[in-house]
Copies of this chain bind each other. A is one copy, B any other.
Amino acid sequence: MLLYTCQTAPSPRRVRMFLAEKGLEVPMQEVDLRSGEHFSEAFRCKNPYGTVPVLELDDGTCIADSEAICTYFEALHPKPALMGTDARGQALIRAADRWVELDGYLAVMEAFRNKLPGFKDRALPGPHPVPQIEALVERGTQRYRNFLSDLDARLEGQEFVAGATFSVADITALVTLDFAARALHIEPDETLPNARRWYQAVSARPSAMA
């Protein structure tokens, strides 16, 4: 088993933090996104989509999606549970995780990828060229600010993103907030005390170093 990852990209960090919370160690290989290694023929054989992370199993199967890789390890190593332990819990965590990804993570990415010259014609991930649209920089930034405000409201009266228990939704959210701090220079300010309290607490977990 081999996990293809990249230290500076947010999506593979979701998997590394998930593994750290589980106490699992998996052999990893760094993919150099700056030199375009993810678009090389060798890497495209593993993932035609040209993205990291990819988990290559011993039978050659490649799982090329961060959430799917987490699903794999959750099934093999159910404890500590990060995706819920019963139908209701699984559903609520999945809903929360998808909300973070669709409203938070994709918003940051929209602002980031439509702005940076290095992402010309790669405004979305994948094998097809997607031109940058200037108006999406502002839209993505505004969507992300709305997300932070909704996150703050959600964390009023509950400790974690999906409720009383730490879950994969907190991992997706931490990776999103850290990337936004770096890429958009936006962090939850003092008008968002619940989001700040949560951000500090989750950042202090040892897994956040992954």
Contacts and interface: CB of A to CB of B under 8 A. Distances in A.
B130 A133 contact: no
Contact of A126 (B67, B98, B103): B103
B65 A95 contact: yes
25 contacts: A49-B99, A55-B91, A61-B92, A63-B91, A65-B94, A65-B98, A65-B99, A68-B91, A68-B92, A68-B95, A68-B98, A69-B91, A71-B87, A71-B94, A72-B88, A72-B91, A73-B87, A75-B87, A126-B146, A127-B150, A128-B143, A128-B146, A130-B143, A133-B133, A133-B139
Interface of A: 49, 55, 57, 61, 63-65, 67-69, 71-73, 75-76, 86-88, 90-92, 94-95, 98-99, 103, 124, 126-128, 130-131, 133, 135-136, 139, 143, 146, 150
